[in-house]
Amino acid sequence: MLFKRSLLCLAISAALPFYACAENMTSAADLPENEEEVEFNDQFLLNGTANIDVNRFSHGNPVLPGTYRTKINLNGNLKSTVEVTFKDNGTPRATPCITKLLLTQSGVDTSTLDDGPEDDDACVDIKKSFPGATVRYDSGKQAIDFNFPQIYVLKRPAGYVDPSLWDNGIPAALLSYDMNGWRSENNGSISESAYMGLRYGLNMGPWRLRSRGNFNWDKDSGTKYSSQDVYLQRDITPLSAQFVIGDSYTRGEAFNSLSLRGARMYSDDRMLPMGSTGYAPVIRGVANSNAKVSVTQSGNKIYETSVPPGAFEIDDLSTTGYGNDLLVTIEEADGSTRSFTVPFSSVTQMLRPGASRWDVGLGELHDNSLIDAPKVGYGTLFYGLNNTFTGYIGAQYTDMDFYAGILGVAMNTSVGAFALDVTQSYADIDGLDTLSGQSYRLTYSKMIESTNTSFNVAAYRFSTEDYLTLNDAAQLQDSIKHQEYSNRSYDSNEALYADYQRTKNQVQISLNQPLENGEEHFGSLYISGTWQDYWNATGSTSNYNIGYNNSFTYGSYSLSLQRTYDQTGKKDDSVYLSLSIPLNVFSKDRSHSAGFSNINMGLRSDLKGGTSFNTSASGNTQDSKVSYSVSAASNSGNYGNLNQLSGYGSYNSEYGPLGLSASFGDDNSKQYSASYSGGMVLHSGGIAFAPGSIGDNDALALVKASGAKGAGIGFGNSEIGSSGYGILPYMSAYRENRVYLDISTLESDVEIKNTSEITVPRSGSVVLVNFETDEGRSLILELQRSDKGFIPLGADVLNEKNESIGTVGQAGQAYVRGVEDEGTLHVIWGSGKDRQCDVHYNVSSHAQKVGLTTVLSNQVCQM
């Protein structure tokens, strides 16, 4: 249930501003010495005509014994939302049972309780166990405020969520689908095809069963179903890891990624506190007094804390991007300051000091192109040695006599971040001498702060002639064994190997440069490129890109140039210019309205006579449920000679997005397509539909709000369906997720007790978020006593079963809920027949409404 300030208490607060509703303690016994009980003069409040007992409000709104969903705050910071049991203490306000588990989840150090009862559900005497600590319950906010001296508060990284709060979710079956149908007509030929991608899932406790497959159909070959993978997965909480049995892809940080069918366990960074993921240096220093320590990066303050005199250490820093050094400033109590700089650059291999990342597995190489798949075992480990160095090692093994090992180090230096590693491989391939080689890789990343130049990644790899990756070795072994390499036959295995293409050198670079002069911005420039050549093959392949983008008063534009070379040296150039103009810049009213809202134009050329020009206008309805676009394209030269008109529209329904498209060319070509995606969850309460497809390991919230059809969930297209359930997808695993209900779109008269809840799902879980509702009809009755007397504020309204269903407010207006279309209600404001009356009501189909609530005027209450 939801505790609300009673109408009486609100009225008292408004009428007597010098009084407050004293609801800040768990019981009368918890009132501090300087706080007295609040006394009300009922004769004054009720105009001397009533005899209502208001003593129950002397310590705030009454709290009945029971278990309630409650927010937990520690020293002003929200920590969790959990079920709390309130126990009877002989007063109108039950006392919350503060358990050891609840304190631990909130970040309180419970080590001093180790000598006491080991039952995590036993109530803790806060005043006795934690001198100076206080507990305050606010029934209006449904929140318990813990105020503890800092000595009892655990130091935890920002974003830390106690693992005991991670929710496995409920048993559920999941189905997700992506469908697309296509038809084209060109030169008298017709092509028709359809595709359906399916993802299945089953959740039981901590286990997640997942599978993927797809149907493909075309009018010539018919229908074919192919299964992609199936696996069983669960969390290993003590190791902050995932355990997988079945099909999965290994990480590509050390060795190249491969598809493994078997058993695998790997560390999961998502299970670490938010401020502990990624690389950041540990900052150490010494304060001479109580000091303030602040850390800035690129002129932005990213961290601040207070430290006592002596040595301090900051190990929960959250940095931004892959570069820019950190400026640490220590401000002493006397106002003096001193600063020092900590170098900060990072590559993906870098870890925080003491942090680790690992991945181990055993199984079979899952590659449908292989006739004989080898058995595989592997392991990799990354470990942050200190602020400067991260070391990493790894090994691979197969039953076809292939072995590989990697040894590497990543470094954070003042001139940038480097990662250098060497991989050694050995392969004993049938009919060939033992092949042994090395692959050397150097990776660099740096943000040059003076110019804001960002080298996002610059990598170079050199592989010796007989170096093979595990996939290379498996393909070569299979080709030699079955003589199917490149669909050609060879006189000898050596000839086949001589024709087997392997990478020799590979270079990748990416650079981004904002163009600025003081406060003036002139857009940004980016450059990227790749180049590689091969052993036993002439020539090389490469791809280079350079681009510029900027915005101006009426929109934005970009220019990009691309050049590629294939292995024969053939060159292909492309220049692309785009312009985007939002139409609301020409309107005084910048608010969104239905119609076209944006115009995009694009011009592409191959610099050899081929050009393509495209213009499109797009928009969406005011509720963003329907979006649409129309476009015209003109192609000439090497791109063909075709003028084409096309249109696209999509509808974002509560069951998923539906898209339609069509195009028509001046050569009588036509194209039509339709697409749809969605998902559903089968649970104990029925079936709930998702507003789109469901990812394999996405955490979902199954939101229950009985009778609240049409209520929006979150800020997307999810809403509560007729079954009383809805799906909120794409939740962040191991993090606090706030789930909202938008009651402005309710389609029925229902009261939702609370519109916001917090949940912490595990990866792939379906967590149940239950919003309590009251589905009874609501009425506002404008009451008049038959003797023309006064019905006092705060009078109770009872139904025919003598159950309290409402209260009389100002001017004799009574708000009640849970009534039939017709009946009799009893209004009571004291003992005696002269302090009660009965009103008979009848709700007609033409009754006045305020929102979804029916209003009945001039209702006579018979004395």
Measured between alpha carbons, how far is 2 from 755 in angstroms, rounded to an integer?
Answer: 11
- The pLDDT of residue 406 is 96
Looking at domain 7-154, what is its CATH homologous superfamily?
PapC, N-terminal domain (3.10.20.410)
Average pLDDT over residues 202-211: 95
- The pLDDT of residue 299 is 63
- Whether the predicted pLDDT of 26 surpasses 60: no
DSSP states of 701-757? EEEE-TT-TT-EETTSS-B--TTSEEEEEEEPTTS-EEEEEEGGG--S--EES-SEE
- Whether the predicted pLDDT of 34 surpasses 80: no
- The pLDDT of residue 855 is 92
Average pLDDT over residues 739-762: 87
The structural domains of the chain, with segments of one domain joined by +, span 7-154, 282-342, 777-862
Average pLDDT over residues 355-370: 91
Average pLDDT over residues 487-491: 55
- CATH code: domain 282-342 is 2.60.40.3110
Task: Specify the residue for token string 């969930």.
Answer: 713
Strand pairing category for 766-770 and 773-774: unpaired
- Whether the predicted pLDDT of 857 surpasses 70: yes
- The pLDDT of residue 296 is 81
- The pLDDT of residue 591 is 54
Of the listed ranges 288-302, 353-367, 594-608, 788-802, the least confidently predicted one is 288-302
- Whether the predicted pLDDT of 703 surpasses 90: yes
Same fold yes or no, 282-342 and 777-862? yes
Residues 513-559: tens digit of each pLDDT: 888 877 788 899 988 888 988 887 778 888 888 999 999 888 999 99
- The pLDDT of residue 548 is 93
Q: Which of 221-230, 397-406, 614-623 is modeled with the greatest confidence?
A: 397-406
Most distant CA atoms of the chain, gap in Å: 115
* Centroid of chain to Cα 537: 46
- Give the N- to C-terminal CA distance of the chain in Å, as an integer: 34
- The pLDDT of residue 856 is 93
- The pLDDT of residue 484 is 53
Q: For residue 73, give both structure tokens.
A: 């705050």
Measured between alpha carbons, how far is 839 from 817 in angstroms, rounded to an integer?
Answer: 15
CB 446 within 8 A of CB 323: yes
Higher-pLDDT residue of 570 and 496 is: 570
- Whether the predicted pLDDT of 734 surpasses 50: yes
Give the burial string for 782-805 (b: 16+ CB within 10 Å, else e): ebbbeeeeebbbbbbbbbeeeeeb
pTM greater than the 0.85 cutoff: no
CATH class of 777-862: mainly beta
Task: Specify the residue for token string 């005011």.
Answer: 622
Task: Specify the residue for token string 């999941």.
Answer: 174
Residues 300-337: tens digit of each pLDDT: 677 777 777 777 777 767 655 555 668 888 888 777 78
Residues 103-147: tens digit of each pLDDT: 988 889 888 776 554 566 789 988 888 988 999 998 777 889 999
- The pLDDT of residue 11 is 39
Higher-pLDDT residue of 832 and 379 is: 379
